[in-house]
A and B are shown apart, each in its own frame.
Chain A
């Protein structure tokens, strides 16, 4: 059987690299492009963006692995010259980087989550009397969420009166 030519393997790598870059970019960029503030979202594009967002960790990981495998399996043995090897490696590294970026929640970077919430007794809380709070009372337990705090964190996972709730603003 004839061995596959180096040129053919280089072409295979380029094809895989191109496809993987496109897929990974789509996974990372499209959801951020659609779901951003000060932009109206249509129902269909939102559904597509969310579908991509849900699977982008897996997709970008597979994409990175495919790019890496074809770099090492096809391109490296077929291309002895240093400079093309460098470019190919950088391009593959970019696809791998996208796999990390895909895991970043940019919204929580902008608005840090509060994690496990802590509370102060009403008499100890340093809130101005005319500042607004969202108030919840369940099974005799009362929690107040200052709006100035909620306007930043947006989401707080809490338990009030043994009921698990999410405070949103």
Chain B
């Protein structure tokens, strides 16, 4: 997700091609071509310009609806709805061939990853393994991060493991059984935390952990744009 204003000019994007299975888009205002995954203009009058990333989540619809009951959902265009992805599109997609691959770290091209590029480093977390563990405490670069799986066992959010007033990284645990509105507890302040990364009880009540943007992507694509990436959860 990207902003589409540069120097006060609002751009309108069109699908315009594919580059190693990541798509290209063209703005109708200048005719420049942009790479989807980097938000960088690769050809045209705006070549070299960078769109600003808009933070986003990939969530189950039910989870999103519970958090944003007043939110709006993009409507289908009914005349093309028959061409939309099937329910098992992600299973089908796994079988689609790739044109580039990077077999290092024992990874397969279409292994699903949660890629994080932050704090001066790139790290990719094996998605299925994150779902299995439900809570991952790790580092990206030198920064401690938390990967938290929601109650739906599908949605994942990433936070910086820094609680204001607490030195270093806090130790987190999943509440078992989970309480309504609280998923985690931390050992430093004894607070309970919800899936938005905000403390709902305890000493830290009212504070929220900083969100970290993660990209759910296939290994081959993540690695193509992050050649220095490290990997968590490799088999």
Contacts and interface: CB of A to CB of B under 8 A. Distances in A.
Contact of B23 (A114, A125, A136, A154): A154
A138 B54 contact: yes
Interface of B: 1-5, 10-21, 23-25, 31, 33, 36, 42-44, 51, 54-62, 64-65, 68-77, 80, 83-87, 89, 97, 99-100, 152, 154
A47 B54 CA distance: 27
A8 interface: no
Contacts of A149: 74, 76, 84
Given A145-B74, A146-B61, A157 B68 contact: no
Given A40-B20, A112-B77, 4 more contacts: A35-B18, A120-B73, A130-B154, A168-B1
Contact of A157 (B4, B65, B85): B4
Contacts of B83: 152
A137 B42 CA distance: 28
A35 B61 contact: no
A153 to B, nearest CB: 8
B16 A107 contact: yes
B43 A137 contact: no
Most buried by A among B51, B56, B100: B56
Contacts of A65: none
Contacts of B12: 157
A39 B1 CA distance: 25
Interface residues of A, number: 64
A19 interface: no
A53 B33 contact: yes
A131 B86 CA distance: 11
Given A46-B42, A50-B33, A112-B80, A130 B14 contact: no
B61 A117 contact: no
B1 A130 contact: no
**Of residues A113, A114, A135, A154, which shows the largest number of chain B Cβ atoms within 10 Å of its Cβ?**
A135
A165 interface: yes
A82 interface: no
A82 B15 CA distance: 45
B62 A129 contact: yes
A118 B15 contact: no
B84 A133 contact: no
B60 A144 contact: no
Of listed B57, B87, B100, residue having the most chain A CB within 10 A: B57
A164 B9 CA distance: 10
A4 interface: no
